[in-house]
Amino acid sequence: MTTTRRKFLHGAALAAPAALAAPSIARAQEPIRWRFQTYAGAALGEEVTKPIIDYINAASNGEMEIELFYADQIVPTGELFQALQRGTIDGVHSDDDSMASPTPLRQFGGYFPFATKHILDVPVLFNQYGLAEIWDEEYSKVGVKWLSAAGQDPCNFNTTREITSVGDLDGLRLYTFPTAGRFLSQFGVVPVNIPYEDAEVAVQTGELDGMAWSGITEDYTVGWADVTDYFLTNNISGAWIGSFFVNQERWEELPDHLKQLVMAGIEAGHTYRNQWYWGGEARLRARGDKLELRSVPAAEWAEVENAAKEFWEEVAQEGEVHQKVVSIFREYNDVINQAGPPYTF
């Protein structure tokens, strides 16, 4: 018994230095790093994109670090999609239209004329009427992972000239989205395509008469309310349709728990923007002191709404996917028109 015990202790003593010489050390894994660009400038991006990125970075426990860039900081907004495909950037928050998506969905992102009336129409269209499946399928064909879409503000007009009739649109040089510009050009609007951050100065220099880009919340947030005088309460769309996208390969590299975290952050951001915009639009119309409100009588604005119906028909003829999306917009609008207020005005 004693001999055996001594041999054991002797062996353990000899083994100890070897064990100490090559300890097993758990090393912290390097975080997954993404570069992420939003369509929004810095002032607006603080509200519409940064909260999501901050949430993911804080909750990932050091496993993921996303660096946020604002409009045009890495690439121009119109080149976002190509940069995402190449892997120059890893994630994007934008609408399909302004980032020049090479899919049939391009003109439906941003502001498709009169497709929506309120901010909550967008998640309903995606989650209850099938747009999510269409977006996911179309982007998977071009090597980009579409994650989620949500609504934001309506598309009103903030201008240096009064608009009180449809005829007042004639000749207005406006910063606007490609599809909105295509639609509005029939009323004499001259769409102007410049970088987002240059729009304010372009109004001051007279290059622009204003914007058909946002609701009144954005006008105040980014400084446009400081350089324009009037806000038209009539809009050409009730809610912006924007999405979050990531490079397909980078998404596949993420472990499942980080994918769930990214989606949780995005969905939390949707909820935040719903109240931020909904409350902001009401408060600034009622109490804002920088823009004077103007309206075109509803009976006259119906001319613009009726033109949108013809525009829908024109777009639907461009392809099978176009027809499918337009038919969903028609179905949903038929439902809310039958439902009446508060779903319609």
Q: Is there a domain that residue 10 lies in?
A: no
Q: Is there a domain that residue 18 lies in?
A: no
Task: Report the CATH number that the domain containing residue 172 is assigned in CATH.
Answer: 3.40.190.170
Q: What is the pLDDT of residues 221-254, one digit of tens each?
A: 999 999 999 999 999 999 999 999 999 999 999 9
Confidence tier at 147 by pLDDT (50, 70, 90): very high
Q: Do 94 and 204 sit in the same domain of this protein?
A: no
Q: Do 123 and 251 sit in the same domain of this protein?
A: yes
Q: What is the pLDDT of residue 18?
A: 38
What is the 3-class SS of 204-215, one letter each residue? Answer: HCCCCCEEEEEC
Overall domain count for the chain: 2
Q: Is there a domain that residue 17 lies in?
A: no
Confidence tier at 27 by pLDDT (50, 70, 90): very low
Q: Do 231 and 242 sit in the same domain of this protein?
A: no
Domain range enclosing 52: 32-153+238-287
Q: Do 312 and 205 sit in the same domain of this protein?
A: yes
Distance set, CA 314 to CA 9, 96, 183, 332 (Å): 89, 19, 11, 19
Q: Do 247 and 144 sit in the same domain of this protein?
A: yes
Rounded percentage of the chain residues whose pLDDT exceeds 70: 92
Q: Is there a domain that residue 25 lies in?
A: no
Q: Do 49 and 125 sit in the same domain of this protein?
A: yes
Q: Do 214 and 270 sit in the same domain of this protein?
A: no
| pTM of the full structure | 0.89
Local structure of residue 103 (DSSP, 8 states): S
Q: Do 37 and 59 sit in the same domain of this protein?
A: yes
Q: Is there a domain that residue 123 lies in?
A: yes
Q: Do 215 and 84 sit in the same domain of this protein?
A: no
Q: What is the pLDDT of residues 176-217, one digit of tens each?
A: 999 999 999 999 999 999 999 999 999 999 999 999 999 999
Q: Do 37 and 115 sit in the same domain of this protein?
A: yes
What does the DSSP assignment read for 228-281?
--EEES--S-SS-EEEEEEEHHHHHHS-HHHHHHHHHHHHHHHHHHHHHHHHHH
> In the listed set 246, 272, 287, which residue is the last one of a domain according to the structure?
287
Q: What is the pLDDT of residue 28?
A: 55
Q: Do 191 and 76 sit in the same domain of this protein?
A: no
Q: What is the pLDDT of residue 26?
A: 41
Q: What is the pLDDT of residue 131?
A: 98
Confidence tier at 6 by pLDDT (50, 70, 90): very low
CA pair distance 135, 242, nearest whole angstrom:
11
Confidence tier at 345 by pLDDT (50, 70, 90): confident
CA pair distance 233, 212, nearest whole angstrom:
12
Residue 259 CB-density burial (10 A; 0-12 exposed, 13-18 middle, 19+ buried): middle
Q: Do 191 and 314 sit in the same domain of this protein?
A: yes
Q: Is there a domain that residue 2 lies in?
A: no
Q: Is there a domain that residue 139 lies in?
A: yes
Rounded percentage of the chain residues whose pLDDT exceeds 90: 91
> In the listed set 272, 287, 302, which residue is the last one of a domain according to the structure?
287
CA pair distance 73, 88, nearest whole angstrom:
12
Q: Is there a domain that residue 318 lies in?
A: yes
CB atoms near residue 278 (< 10 Å)? 18
